[in-house]
């Protein structure tokens, strides 16, 4: 049987009782932060641009000539035209997802014997925005954008469809493809939100 040893809290000295030493210590921290510049933004009137690697609403990259080598290998088995989603219906995103029920993926075989994706829906009400699906995608089709305003009046508004996701990816790449793949665009952008970091 394990004996639990109780340690009594040390009592206050007379000096600490009379001069409220603990209270003054706490107020010192409060006053120091009270006089600092606030980092709060006046949303929705003021909006910050998230980093490029932000995990926002999902999108589908389209076939546009910038595909990775893995897509060029699979392309001969697929019926994907220029400007269409480059999804190859491998179901890797669904396999990697902790909640695989949020995906509805369907593909059919064309008369030429090639595979064509006819449906790719995502129900974001079930999504945890962990990004595992995007990491699993072998052709860099499924990505996460910087869009974070996803509120909707109806549940159906939280379901993403393939065509909408393709348009969203074209918009995202046109705006941010030239940016370096880092958390903050530059140090001034980071310091605007977090202030200057002083290393000890």
At 107 the pLDDT is 95
At 200 the pLDDT is 53
At 1 the pLDDT is 67
Q: Does domain 58-176 have CATH number 1.10.3720.10?
A: no
Query: Is the pTM above the cut of 0.85?
Result: no
Written as one string, the DSSP assignment of 113-153 is S-EEEEEEEEEGGG-----HHHHH-TTS-EEE-S------S
In the numeric block, the tokens 């009782």 are attached to 17
Residues of the chain with pLDDT under 50: none
At 172 the pLDDT is 95
At 48 the pLDDT is 82
At 43 the pLDDT is 87
């Amino acid at each position: 049987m394990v004996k639990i040893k109780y340690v009594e809290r040390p009592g206050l000295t007379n000096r600490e009782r009379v001069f409220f030493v603990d209270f003054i210590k706490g107020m010192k921290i409060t006053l120091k932060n009270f006089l600092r510049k606030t980092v709060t933004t006046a949303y929705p009137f003021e909006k910050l641009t998230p980093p490029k690697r932000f995990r926002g609403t999902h999108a589908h990259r389209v076939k546009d000539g910038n595909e990775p080598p893995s897509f060029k290998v699979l392309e001969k088995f697929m019926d994907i035209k220029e400007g269409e989603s480059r999804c190859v219906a491998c179901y890797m995103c669904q396999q990697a997802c902790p909640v695989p029920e949020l995906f509805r993926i369907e593909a059919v075989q064309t008369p030429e014997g090639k595979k064509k994706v006819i449906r790719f829906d995502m129900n974001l009400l079930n999504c945890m925005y962990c990004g595992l699906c995007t990491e699993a995608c072998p052709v860099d089709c499924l990505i996460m954008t910087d869009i974070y305003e996803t509120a909707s009046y109806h549940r159906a508004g939280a379901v993403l469809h393939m065509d909408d996701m393709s348009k969203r990816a074209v918009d995202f790449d046109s705006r941010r493809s030239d940016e370096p793949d880092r958390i903050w665009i530059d140090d001034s952008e980071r310091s605007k939100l977090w202030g200057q970091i002083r290393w000890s």
